[in-house]
């Protein structure tokens, strides 16, 4: 079957920053003359001291290292704020839409944002926060979250945002790992009409974090949470006492900017570290080109700041580029499934960037919820976080965008800092489900399992052969793990963990993770993390977790659980384990299926044969492959006979 191709609309190729010829020419130059290319692109940043060296990078063990614009200095907060004040001080920087459509919205200009950032930066300094120190942010989707990020960047503190849906345990682990002394939070968050007890979670987490001496608490719902004398500080009254000017600290390009924890194939989340110069160039450049962005356009990325998408495309990229960026506190289906499109109409959103999981959930509610809104302001749509299935793509294109708006399907990762493979709306003919072509400077390759390159069309492991400015620089506190995780599987290249197909036109089609990572509603989860949560339960002896296809979430969580000998597994225990995992990690890790199993399929050397469990999870059991090396092949028959119905 010939796949559908959507040509670039004529007005897009005419008016866009980059048309197809320009893409080809720039891409070619970015890989053949990277020094010259990046020297020019880096002009988008106001450097305090210009860099002389562009790039010193190697993915090889002998001289491993990644460093960009090394001797240049800059401040990212100044690049997001100060330099806009003359030209666009009175332009709205952040348009904030609350959870409830009847609550008041907030419109914050660049000048107001600048002042709020300076005041908080001064408060942090007053609490003794120094350059290089880690500050943990556990905040709802409110403008103060952006203020907090920028205030840290202003004084050179390294922010570590923990998604507000994570449990006290998960929060404590992240505070301990990066050794934060200061935490910023709110009394409560609000999502879909439900309250999230953020301050109570912090109090619980801090029982295990004796090093934390300051908690700055935003009164958001004003519920009147208990405050610990000497430790807890009321945000609003404390910043009111601070000056509205704060000199930005001069940062070296390779000084750390932020840590963001993400899941890998081992139990412990990794602290992904991004640095200042390269990340800034990458976030700004990709935001401008992928969204064909011009200053002042109303732009909405519907991601939470707890994920990298929120870092790069709600806050840093857009603000560097003088955007009006929408921040939404709520969820797509509250109070009803028209909510997204009502917000689009209310603010006149031109560019909308969201996740396939939300689109699939809304698609199921029917077209009327969309069609009763106007959406005439929309010109461009984006997709991020997981593969978008052609059905959801078509719905997005035809129903939401009325066939008028190109869709940029952007593939990237927490580790990459910004978009790596994506169409450019004025340059790239679209194929539903394909992230299409590489961004400037990105050199993808497909390798087979033995590391042999697949040329031309084919399917393989996706690697990137040379560095790009937005690349992560290390795993916080574990540089060896950084090297081992990404550069040791295939020597001399960055391994993404994704499988990928390349077609006859050189388009890339991400097929999903090929490691023990699953993607649940666009949230990345390590199966090992869920397993360790399960085995921490007193009745559980062993657990193995795999992904399963899920209509809305993309992937669901399928857990095989072996109980201790004296335990009779039943439905009550199933419910208890589900609640347990939610409590240990957070609601995003809720198992969809728990199958009790007297034994797991293991090789004679005791290794769980995950391949078999994955097939059962995928309900693809006609050919389980070779099971002859199993210690006890009858275990598989038992698993097959006792598959539960999804809960
Ligand atoms: C993993 C990274 C992208 C930032 C948010 C998620 C999957 C991401 C796509 C896409 C297919 C995608 C990959 C990747 N992924 N975007 N457009 N098409 N798959 O960042 O949490 O670090 O997850 O998300 O599997 O490796 P993340």
For 29-69, give the DSSP string: HHHHSHHHHHHHHGGGS--SB--S--EEEE-SSTT-EEEES
Pairing of strands 351-354, 380-384: parallel
Quick: pLDDT tens for 405-442: 999 999 999 999 999 999 999 999 999 999 999 999 99
* pLDDT above 60 for 1: no
Q: Name the DSSP letter for residue 414.
A: G
> Is residue 417 in contact with ligand 1, taking CB distance under 6 Å?
no
> Is residue 385 in contact with ligand 1, taking CB distance under 6 Å?
yes
Quick: pLDDT tens for 188-197: 999 999 999 9
Angle at 235 between CA 230 and CA 236, to 5 degrees: 130
Q: Measured in angstroms, how far is the CA atom of residue 103 from the centroid of ligand 1?
A: 33
Domain 79-89+103-251 grouped into CATH 3.40.50.2300? no
Q: Measured in angstroms, how far is the CA atom of residue 123 from the centroid of ligand 1?
A: 36
For tokens 């990237």, what's the residue? 412
Residue 645 pLDDT level (bands cut at 50, 70, 90) = low
> Is residue 308 in contact with ligand 1, taking CB distance under 6 Å?
yes
Once rounded to an integer, what is the mean pLDDT over residues 465-493?
Answer: 98
Q: Measured in angstroms, how far is the CA atom of residue 385 from the centroid of ligand 1?
A: 4
Residue 628 pLDDT level (bands cut at 50, 70, 90) = confident
Residue 356's pLDDT is what? Answer: 95
> Is residue 393 in contact with ligand 1, taking CB distance under 6 Å?
no
Say whether 13 sits in a helix, a strand or coil. helix
Quick: pLDDT tens for 379-412: 999 999 999 999 999 999 999 999 999 999 999 9
Quick: pLDDT tens for 527-550: 999 999 999 999 999 999 999 999
> Is residue 261 in contact with ligand 1, taking CB distance under 6 Å?
no
Instruction: Choose the residue to mutate in 263, 273, 411 for probing ligand 1, maximizing ligand atoms within 8 Å of C-beta.
Output: 411
Distance CA 159, CA 172 (A): 15
Q: Measured in angstroms, how far is the CA atom of residue 419 from the centroid of ligand 1?
A: 10
Do the two domains 10-78+255-259+274-512 and 79-89+103-251 of this chain adopt the same fold?
yes
Residue 647's pLDDT is what? Answer: 47
Strand partners, 233: 216
Q: Name the DSSP letter for residue 622.
A: S
- Which residue's CA is the closest to the ligand 1 atom numbered 19? 386
Q: In the CATH scheme, what is the code of domain 10-78+255-259+274-512?
A: 3.40.50.12780
Q: Measured in angstroms, how far is the CA atom of residue 354 from the centroid of ligand 1?
A: 12
Residue 627 pLDDT level (bands cut at 50, 70, 90) = confident
What is the model's pTM? Answer: 0.95
477 phi-psi bin (left φ>0, alpha ψ -120 to 50, beta other): left
Residue 113's pLDDT is what? Answer: 98
Quick: pLDDT tens for 59-113: 999 999 999 999 999 999 999 999 999 999 999 999 999 999 999 999 999 999 9
Given the cut 0.90, state whether the ipTM is greater than it. yes
Question: Taking the domains of the chain in order of start, what are their residue ranges?
Answer: 10-78+255-259+274-512, 79-89+103-251, 521-642
Report the share of the chain in percent with pLDDT over 70.
99
Residue 173's pLDDT is what? Answer: 97
Distance CA 601, CA 631 (A): 8
Once rounded to an integer, what is the mean pLDDT over residues 557-578?
Answer: 96
DSSP 364-408: HT-THHHHTS--TT--EEEEESSPPPHHHHHHIIIIISTTTS-EE
> Is residue 163 in contact with ligand 1, taking CB distance under 6 Å?
no
* pLDDT above 50 for 494: yes
User: Which residues are within 8 A (CB) of 477 and not within 5 positions of it... i.e. 6 or more apart?
Assistant: 177, 178, 271
- Cis peptide leading into 335, omega within 30 of 0? yes
Domain 521-642 grouped into CATH 3.30.300.30? yes
Residue 525's pLDDT is what? Answer: 92
Residue 266 pLDDT level (bands cut at 50, 70, 90) = confident
Is the sign of the CA dihedral 174, 176, 182, 183 positive or negative? positive
Length of the chain: 647
Quick: pLDDT tens for 3-59: 799 999 999 999 999 999 999 999 999 999 999 999 999 999 999 999 999 999 999
* pLDDT above 60 for 2: no
Decide: 6 and 415 in contact? Cβ < 8 Å.
Answer: no
Once rounded to an integer, what is the mean pLDDT over residues 444-460?
Answer: 97
> Is residue 472 in contact with ligand 1, taking CB distance under 6 Å?
no
Helices marked H in 375-495: 390-395, 479-487
User: Which residues are within 8 A (CB) of 13 and not within 5 positions of it... i.e. 6 or more apart?
Assistant: 19, 20, 426, 427
User: How many C-beta atoms lie closer than 10 Å to residue 14's C-beta?
Assistant: 10
Residue 362 pLDDT level (bands cut at 50, 70, 90) = very high
> Is residue 460 in contact with ligand 1, taking CB distance under 6 Å?
no
> Is residue 510 in contact with ligand 1, taking CB distance under 6 Å?
yes
Report the share of the chain in percent with pLDDT over 90.
93
Q: Measured in angstroms, how far is the CA atom of residue 272 from the centroid of ligand 1?
A: 15
Q: What are the CB-based long-range contacts (under 8 Å, 24+) for 565-571? A: 565/541, 567/539, 569/596
> Is residue 410 in contact with ligand 1, taking CB distance under 6 Å?
yes
Once rounded to an integer, what is the mean pLDDT over residues 590-610?
Answer: 92
Instruction: Choose the residue to mutate in 519, 553, 589 for probing ligand 1, maximizing ligand atoms within 8 Å of C-beta.
Output: 519
What is the pLDDT of the chain when averaged over all its residues?
96
Q: Measured in angstroms, how far is the CA atom of residue 413 from the centroid of ligand 1?
A: 5
- Which residue's CA is the closest to the ligand 1 atom numbered 11? 387
User: Which residues are within 8 A (CB) of 21 and not within 5 positions of it... i.e. 6 or more apart?
Assistant: none
Instruction: Choose the residue to mutate in 509, 524, 555 for probing ligand 1, maximizing ligand atoms within 8 Å of C-beta.
Output: 524
Decide: 305 and 148 in contact? Cβ < 8 Å.
Answer: no
Quick: pLDDT tens for 294-343: 999 999 999 999 999 999 999 999 999 999 999 999 999 999 999 999 99
Provide the token pair at 198. 């953020």
Q: Measured in angstroms, how far is the CA atom of residue 71 from the centroid of ligand 1?
A: 32
Distance CA 109, CA 102 (A): 22
> Is residue 411 in contact with ligand 1, taking CB distance under 6 Å?
yes
Residue 208's pLDDT is what? Answer: 98
């Amino acid at each position: 079957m010939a796949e559908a191709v959507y040509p670039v609309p004529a007005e897009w190729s005419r008016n866009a920053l980059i048309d197809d010829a320009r893409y080809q020419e720039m891409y070619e130059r970015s890989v053949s003359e990277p020094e010259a290319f990046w020297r020019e692109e880096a002009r988008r940043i106001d450097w305090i001291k210009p860099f002389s060296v562009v790039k010193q990078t190697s993915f090889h063990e002998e001289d491993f290292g990644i460093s960009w614009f090394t001797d240049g200095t800059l401040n990212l907060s100044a690049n997001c704020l100060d330099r806009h004040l003359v030209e666009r001080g009175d332009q709205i920087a952040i348009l904030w839409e609350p959870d409830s459509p009847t609550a008041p919205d907030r419109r914050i200009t660049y000048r107001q944002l600048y002042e709020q950032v300076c005041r908080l930066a001064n408060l942090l300094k007053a609490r003794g926060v120094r350059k290089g120190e880690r500050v943990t942010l556990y905040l709802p989707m409110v403008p103060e979250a952006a203020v907090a990020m920028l205030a840290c960047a202003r004084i050179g503190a390294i922010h570590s945002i923990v998604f507000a849906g994570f449990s006290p345990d998960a929060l404590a682990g992240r505070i301990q790992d990066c050794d934060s002394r200061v935490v910023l939070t709110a009394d409560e968050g609000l999502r879909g009409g439900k309250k999230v007890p953020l301050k109570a979670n912090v109090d619980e987490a801090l029982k295990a974090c004796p090093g934390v001496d300051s908690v700055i608490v935003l009164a958001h719902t004003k519920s009147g949470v208990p405050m610990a004398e000497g430790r807890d500080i009321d945000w609003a009254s404390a910043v009111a006492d601070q000056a509205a000017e704060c000199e930005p600290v001069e940062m070296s390009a390779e000084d750390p900017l932020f840590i963001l924890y993400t899941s890998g194939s081992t139990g412990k989340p990794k602290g992904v570290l991004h640095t200042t110069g390269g990340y800034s160039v990458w976030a700004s450049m990709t935001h401008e080109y992928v969204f064909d962005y011009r200053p002042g356009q109303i732009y909405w990325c519907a991601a939470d700041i707890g994920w990298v998408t929120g870092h790069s495309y709600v806050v840093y990229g857009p603000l560097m580029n003088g955007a009006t960026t929408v921040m939404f506190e709520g969820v797509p289906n509250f109070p009803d499934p028209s909510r997204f499109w009502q917000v689009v109409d209310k603010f006149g959103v031109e560019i909308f960037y969201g996740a396939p999981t939300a689109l699939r959930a809304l698609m199921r509610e029917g077209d009327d919820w969309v069609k009763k809104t106007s959406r005439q302001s929309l010109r461009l749509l984006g997709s991020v976080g997981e593969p978008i299935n052609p059905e959801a793509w078509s719905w997005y294109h035809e129903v939401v965008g009325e066939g008028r708006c190109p869709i940029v399907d952007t593939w990237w990762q927490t580790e990459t800092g910004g978009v790596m493979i994506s169409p450019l709306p004025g340059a790239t003919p679209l194929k539903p489900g394909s992230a299409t072509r590489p961004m400037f400077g990105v050199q993808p390759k497909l390798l087979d399992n033995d590391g042999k390159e697949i040329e031309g069309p084919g399917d393989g492991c996706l690697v990137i052969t040379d560095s790009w400015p937005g690349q992560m620089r290390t795993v916080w506190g574990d540089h060896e793990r950084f090297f081992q995780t990404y550069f040791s599987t295939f020597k001399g290249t960055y391994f993404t963990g994704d499988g990928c197909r390349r077609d006859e036109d050189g388009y890339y089609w991400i097929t999903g993770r090929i490691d023990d990572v699953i993607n649940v509603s666009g949230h990345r989860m390590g199966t090992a993390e869920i397993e360790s949560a399960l085995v921490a339960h007193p009745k559980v002896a062993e657990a193995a977790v795999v992904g399963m296809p899920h209509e809305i979430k993309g992937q669901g969580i399928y857990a095989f659980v072996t109980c201790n000998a004296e335990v009779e597994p039943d439905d009550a225990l199933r419910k208890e384990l589900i609640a347990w995992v939610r409590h240990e990690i957070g609601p995003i890790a809720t198992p969809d299926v728990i199958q009790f199993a007297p034994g797991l399929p293991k090789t004679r050397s005791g290794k769980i044969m995950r391949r078999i469990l994955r097939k059962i999870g995928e309900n693809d059991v006609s050919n389980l492959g070779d099971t002859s090396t199993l210690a006890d092949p009858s275990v598989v028959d038992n698993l097959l006979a006792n598959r539960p119905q999804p809960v």
